[in-house]
Amino acid sequence: MSMTSTFMSRRAILGGALAAAALPLVAQGQDGHNSTTHKVSDVRIRIDFNNLPLTATLFDNPSARDLASMLPLNLKIEDYGRNEKIVYLPRKLTEEGSGAFGNEQAGDLCYFKPWGNLALFYADYRWDGLIRLGRFDDGFEPLLVRGAYPVRIERI
Q: Residue 52 and residue 119: Cα distance in Å, rounded?
A: 17
Q: Residue 55 and residue 154: Cα distance in Å, rounded?
A: 10
The string of DSSP letters for 94-110 reads P-TT----S---TTEEE
As its CATH architecture, domain 40-155 has Beta Barrel (2.40)
* Terminal alpha carbon distance of the chain: 72
Going by pLDDT thresholds of 50, 70 and 90, the confidence category of residue 130 is: very high
139 Ramachandran zone, left/alpha/beta (phi>0; psi -120 to 50): left
Residue 75's pLDDT is what?
A: 98
Residue 102's pLDDT is what?
A: 73
**pLDDT digit string, tens, across residues 26-57:** 333 333 334 445 688 989 999 999 999 999 99
Residue 38's pLDDT is what?
A: 65
Q: Residue 104 and residue 77: Cα distance in Å, rounded?
A: 21
What's the mean per-residue pLDDT of the chain? 82
% of residues, the chain, pLDDT over 90: 63
Residue 104's pLDDT is what?
A: 86
Rank 2-6, 22-26, 57-61, 128-132 by mean pLDDT and report only the highest: 57-61
Domain residue ranges of the chain, discontinuous segments joined by +: 1-31, 40-155
Per-residue pLDDT for 93 more than 50?
A: yes
Residue 72's pLDDT is what?
A: 98
Cis peptide before 72 (omega within 30 of 0): yes
Q: Residue 123 and residue 84: Cα distance in Å, rounded?
A: 7
Residue 131: partners with Cβ closer than 8 Å, 6 or more residues away: 35, 61, 63, 93, 95, 98, 110, 111, 113
Decide: 89 and 74 in contact? Cβ < 8 Å: no
